[in-house]
């Protein structure tokens, strides 16, 4: 049930902002500060999420196979690999390190 509540809340929120962009008069969101903040929010959230999902185990910080996988993804990104290849590199390297580690 908890999950459905979360899905419902996310749907309502995400749809509302999509629609708001199409409906509100341009002036409201056109303030430079608001625009810059909106552009930087995803940077902060994505960076925090990347770090947490790589180094967190519950509420503890750990260094495990996922770190190697993320490093592989970073290399793939530097080599301008397409999106799916970046994800695949992370998955394969993580699985490989786990298999080697036993």
Partner 1 sequence: MTQRTTCTDTGAGHAVGAAAGKPDTAVVRDALAVGIAVGLSGFAFGVTSAGSGLTLPQTCALSLLVFTGASQFALVGALAAGGGPFTAAAGAFFLGVRNAFYGLRLSQLLALPRALRPLAAQWVIDETTAVTLAQPSRRAARIGFTVTGASLYLLWNLTTLLGALGARALGDTGAWGLDAAGPAVFLALLAPMLKSATQRAVAALAVLLGLGLLPVLPAGVPVLAAASAAPAVLYLAGRRTRRAPTPAGTAGTADGTHGMSETTGSGAGEDDR
Compute how many residues bind partner 1; rule: CB under 8 A.
72
**Binding status of residue 101 toward partner 1 by CB under 8 A:** no
Paired with 56 in beta bridges are 61
Of residues 31, 63, 79, 86, which one binds partner 1 by CB under 8 A?
A: 86
Q: Find tokens 């930087």 and name the residue.
A: 40
Report the C-alpha gap between 75 and 95 in whole angstroms: 17
In whole angstroms, the minimum distance from the beta carbon of 78 to partner 1 comes to: 9
Is there binding between residue 83 and partner 1 (CB under 8 A)? yes
Is there binding between residue 80 and partner 1 (CB under 8 A)? yes
d(CA 96, CA 65): 8
3-class DSSP state of 59: coil
63 binds partner 1 (CB under 8 A): no
Residues 69 and 89: their CA atoms lie apart, in Å, by 7
CA dist 59 and 82 (Å) reads: 33
Contacts (CB under 8 A) with partner 1, residues 3-62: 3-7, 9-11, 13-15, 17-24, 26, 29-30, 33, 35-56, 58-61
- Nearest approach, Cβ of 19 to partner 1 (angstroms)? 4
């Amino acid at each position: 049930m908890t999950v459905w509540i979360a899905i419902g809340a996310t749907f309502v929120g995400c749809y509302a902002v999509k629609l708001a962009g199409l409906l509100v008069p341009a002036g409201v969101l056109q303030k430079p500060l608001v625009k810059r903040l909106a552009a930087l929010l995803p940077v902060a959230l994505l960076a925090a999420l990347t770090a947490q999902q790589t180094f967190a185990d519950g509420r503890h910080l750990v260094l495990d196979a996922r770190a190697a996988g993320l490093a592989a993804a970073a290399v793939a990104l530097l080599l301008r690999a397409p999106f799916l290849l970046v994800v695949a590199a992370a998955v394969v390297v993580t699985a490989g390190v786990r298999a080697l580690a036993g």
